[in-house]
């Protein structure tokens, strides 16, 4: 079944202020973790709640994980309570990177059967179109009912290891081509990609203005990459964030996709480093 995907600025403007609507500002910058909140404070969509991607959509990195491991299920359930989100909510998530970051929140919430959509064009589109901007922090409306959270679409490192022998699924890497090819690795300890993976950079889902390409165009482009059913593919990136953008784009294009290797290259490269130094 296809997932809900995108919403445009005019549609969101109509929804703002309705009691069941929750808007999450997911702006995040890998090289400056404080910048997201700073940008939020300078201006955001009225009523939006700021999401600390590094802490609220991920748990603490360890020597065995990638850079953004999923949070504990009980912890994330309480986080949803604090945001006032349950299965009756209408959630909209946005960033300023064409959905590259917001897609992680979208993927996590979609697994809980929560209706959630990504703002197409994000905050730049909202601002460009002259919509109202607020500097007053959004106020969460916590709820008492707690969801039972699970992440059935998260693929483990062990599953990736086993797949090297069984070939049960095809890996698709969302990083830029240079990092995939091991030519410009400035973040993780080893350069390259997981053996057998193919490369579809998430930026290829967007037009030059930062909006998603038309669904019909994405469908044609992705069909050139996908030779089998969408469920035969697992998506990864550097740390399990932008891989979700490919999953989002596929559903928008009418092609089912759900599975993400959350550890991604940041976990796999640690595995390679251990092998090289043992």
* Residues taking part in catalysis: 237
Q: What is the 3-state secondary structure (H, E, C) of 10-31?
A: HHHHHHCCCCCEEEEECCCCCC
Residue listed under structure tokens 């698709």: 172
Nearest partner of 228 among 257, 199, 193, judged by Cα: 257
Residue listed under structure tokens 């480093």: 273
DSSP notation for 189-252: SS-S--TT-EE--GGGGB-TTSSBPPHHHHHHHHHTT--S-GGGEEEE-SSSSTHHHHHHHHHH
Pairwise CA distance, residues 260 & 243, whole Å: 7
Task: Check the CA dihedral 220-221-224-226 and report its sign.
Answer: negative
Task: Check the CA dihedral 192-195-201-202 and report its sign.
Answer: negative
């Amino acid at each position: 079944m296809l997932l809900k995907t995108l919403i445009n600025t005019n549609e969101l403007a109509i929804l703002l202020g309705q009691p069941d609507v929750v808007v999450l500002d997911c702006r995040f910058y890998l090289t400056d973790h404080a910048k997201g909140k700073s940008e939020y404070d300078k201006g955001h969509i009225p009523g939006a709640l700021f999401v600390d991607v590094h802490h609220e959509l991920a748990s603490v990195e360890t020597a065995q994980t990638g850079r953004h491991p999923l949070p504990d299920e009980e912890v994330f359930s309480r986080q949803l309570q604090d945001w006032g989100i349950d299965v009756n909510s209408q959630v909209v998530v946005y960033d300023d990177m064409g959905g590259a970051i917001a897609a992680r929140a979208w993927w996590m919430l979609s697994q809980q059967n929560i209706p959630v959509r990504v703002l197409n064009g994000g905050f730049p589109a909202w601002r460009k179109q002259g919509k109202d901007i607020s500097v007053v922090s959004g106020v969460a409306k916590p709820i008492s009912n707690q969801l039972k959270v699970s992440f059935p679409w998260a693929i483990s490192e062990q599953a990736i290891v086993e797949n090297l022998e069984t070939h049960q699924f095809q890996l698709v890497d969302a990083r830029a081509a240079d990092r995939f090819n091991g030519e410009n690795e400035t973040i993780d300890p080893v350069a390259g990609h997981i053996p057998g993976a193919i490369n579809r950079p998430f930026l290829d889902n967007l037009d030059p203005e930062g909006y998603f390409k038309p669904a019909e165009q994405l469908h044609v482009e992705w069909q050139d990459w996908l030779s089998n059913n969408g469920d035969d593919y697992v998506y990864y990136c550097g740390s399990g964030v932008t891989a979700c953008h490919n999953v989002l784009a596929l559903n928008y294009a009418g092609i089912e996709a759900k599975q993400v290797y959350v550890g991604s290259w940041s976990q796999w490269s640690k595995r390679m480093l251990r092998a090289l130094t043992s």
